[in-house]
Amino acid sequence: MSCQCILLLLLVAGAAAVEVQRPRGVSLSKRQFYEDGKPFTCLDGSKTIPFDRVNDDYCDCQDASDEPGTAACPNGNFHCTNAGFRPVFIPSSRVNDGICDCCDTTDEYNSGAICQNTCKELGYKERESLLKLAEITKEGFLLKQQLIQEAMRGVDDRKAKLEEVRSGKGDLETKVEALRTVKEAAEQPEREAKERHLKAWEDQKAAIRMEKDKARMVQVFLELDEDSDGFVSLADLLSHPELDPDSDGLFTEAEAQGLLGGLDRVDTFGFESVWNNIKDKYASLQPSVAPGEAPQEEVPEPASDNDSETYPEDDVPEEEEEEEDEDDDDYEEDYKSPPSTQTQDKKDDDGEGTMPPYDPQTQELIDAAQKARDEFNEAEKALREVDDQIRNIEKEISFDFGTESEFTYMYNQCYEMPTSEYVYKLCPFNRVTQKPKFGGSETSLGSWGKWAGPEDNIYSVMKYEHGTGCWQGPNRATTVSLICGTETAVTSTSEPSRCEYLMEFTTPAACPEPPSPDSLYPPVHTEL
């Protein structure tokens, strides 16, 4: 209730203490239209009647103005003077209905109902309540002034902080760029050293592959030279139909002679040119043996393409998987390179082994580059945090916290109210939530939307929107009514309609300026 309403009620209560003689049911403001002994004109101007027909229990005027004190007109209103309390109007139908509606009992003058005049008692209680409310308003307004002063100081502090952070940002940007240059300078020799190391490893693997290829060529020559005469002939090749160049199922002598370079047979030196044409197709009848290794039994191919038939799900050999994982970990630690070369460090199926560790000089370059990267990343992270800090300060400075920033103190604060089932939490300018009291997840009842009070008091209502959606319904939303109080607290919650919540929130920031002490005790004008 505003201070203007408090003042009006106190004025009315004081003025109503002196009752003025007028026809029953007529308000003081209309007394001049009812003059005893003079014709009465209906207030709508439709008719004029003798004054003795006023309150004669017969409705003459369409606007019911001739029967203010009876129930004759269905559209009439009876004025309760209620001296000592607040005057009110009641429908004429409630006059003499046996129920006391006016605290001064004037509505039951002819019903036989026994009524007690309670106006003085009600007026006393209301004045006590209004005085108490006025005291709360006064105390709350004083607290509001302190909040405004604190908010102003806070704005000044934030502006000073903003300038300080912005100034520090320039130094940090310079540092980041300097560290970027150091990082890039350190990464160049690191990259070159890694590339040299990788090239040496690729060359080594190529030499190993070449050696293996030569060994296999010798083995295949011996396999093809079945009569051990030191030559591979057309007949030797024709015994291997898989070498058919066009794979048409018919391996002819002409095709075999083409593989031999037009000759009928070749020795070990001539076989080198033949080998390049047949090595991808040749199917050895014996298991291949690497130089210096003993031959092994050939493992037959599984009948099905499904790996689970070879190794049931529960029988997959764990040791092999662990070895492969360990090799991957070693690679990540020892060699950081583009994705195209990362697979080089895994153990190859053909026995080429793993890439050897970096030499001390290369590792030293890697460590130096990593240190430069770490320092650059740390400085860049600090710069991002400064940017976030600047945005947050600018947001707080520009945010609408009321006409005099009186609501600033509620920013980044939360206020809870438990009920029998839930705990409601209001975080002003952020969100409203509801959580079951005995376990369960939190539900959003809306995020900060806008100030939504009437034009003359827009800061009296907060609107929170786009909360968690209701089942087959709209998203939850909450309206928060701000009420003057000496404490900051959620005082009530309700759900007047589905998914639409209403909260009452007391705060000193909502307290208006109280009336002057003299206005609370106006003089009583007895001439009224």
As a whole number of angstroms, the distance between CA 270 and CA 369 comes to 52
Q: Which residues of 350-363 are buried (b: 16+ CB within 10 A; e: fewer)?
A: eebebbeebeeebe
Q: What is the pLDDT of residue 513?
A: 87
- Residues ≥6 apart with Cβ < 8 Å to 187: 369, 372, 373
Cα distances (angstroms) measured from residue 317 to each of 312, 328, 350: 10, 18, 20
CA 419 to each of CA 141, 422, 441, 493: distance values in angstroms, whole numbers, following the listed order: 30, 5, 16, 9
Using DSSP, state whether 28 is helix, strand or coil: helix
pLDDT value at residue 439: 86
Q: 416 - beta bridge partners?
A: 425
Give the per-residue pLDDT at 127. Answer: 87
CA atoms of 347 and 345, how far apart (whole Å)? 7
Which among 35, 27, 86, 95 has a CA at the least distance from the CA of 59?
95
Determine the 3-state secondary structure of 471 from DSSP: coil
| One-letter-per-residue 3-state SS of 107-149 | HHCCCCCCCCCCHHHHHHHHHHHHHHHHHHHHHHHHHHHHHHH
Q: Residue 7's closest CA among 350, 483, 526, 513? A: 513
d(Cα 21, Cα 82) in Å, to the nearest integer?
13
Say what the pLDDT of residue 256 is: 86
pLDDT number for residue 517: 56
Report phi then psi at 423, rounded to 5: -115, 115
> What is the three-class DSSP state of 166?
helix
Parts of the chain belonging to CATH 2.70.130.10: 408-510
Sequential DSSP letters for 291-349: TT----PPPPPPSSS-HHHHS-GGG--HHHHHHHHHHHHHHHHH----GGGGGGGSPPT
Give start-end residues of each CATH 1.10.238.10 domain in the chain.
Answer: 155-284
Rounded CA-CA distance 358/308 in Å is: 39
Q: Tell me, yes or no, if the pTM score tops 0.75.
A: no
In our burial notation (b when 16+ CB lie closer than 10 A, e otherwise), range 194-203 reads beebbeebee
Assess contact for 78 and 90: CB atoms under 8 A. yes
Architecture in CATH for domain 155-284? Orthogonal Bundle (1.10)
Phi first, then psi: give them for residue 166, nearest 5 degrees: -60, -40
pLDDT one digit per residue (tens) for the chain, 528 residues: 454 444 444 444 444 444 557 899 999 889 999 998 899 999 999 999 999 999 999 999 999 999 999 999 999 999 999 988 989 999 999 999 999 999 999 999 999 899 999 999 998 888 888 888 888 889 999 999 999 999 999 889 999 999 999 999 999 999 999 999 999 999 999 999 999 999 999 999 999 999 999 999 999 999 998 888 999 999 888 989 999 888 888 999 898 889 888 899 999 898 988 998 888 889 876 554 444 454 444 444 444 444 433 334 444 344 444 444 444 444 334 434 433 333 344 444 455 678 999 999 999 999 999 999 999 999 999 999 999 999 999 988 889 999 999 999 999 999 999 999 999 999 999 999 999 998 889 999 999 999 999 999 999 999 999 999 998 889 999 999 999 999 999 999 999 999 999 999 999 999 998 876 555 444 433 333
- CA distances, 210 to each of 50, 213, 277, 294, 328 (Å): 134, 5, 16, 20, 26
CATH homologous superfamily of 408-510: Mannose-6-phosphate receptor binding domain (2.70.130.10)
Alpha-carbon radius of gyration of the chain: 50
Q: Which residue has the tokens 């662990």?
A: 322
Alpha-helical regions (H) of 225-284: 234-238, 253-259, 271-278
Contacts of 4 (CB under 8 A, 6+ apart): 515
* Contact (Cβ atoms closer than 8 angstroms) between residue 347 and residue 326: no
Please give the pLDDT value at position 8. 46
- Six token digits for residue 131: 């005085």
Predicted local confidence at residue 311, as pLDDT:
37
Write the secondary structure of 398-456 as one string of H (helix), E (strand) and C (coil).
HCCCCCCCCCHHHCCCCEEEECCCEEEEEECCCEEEEEECCCCCCEEEEEEEEECCCHH
Q: Report residue 393 as tokens.
A: 């300060």
Q: How many residues does the chain have?
A: 528
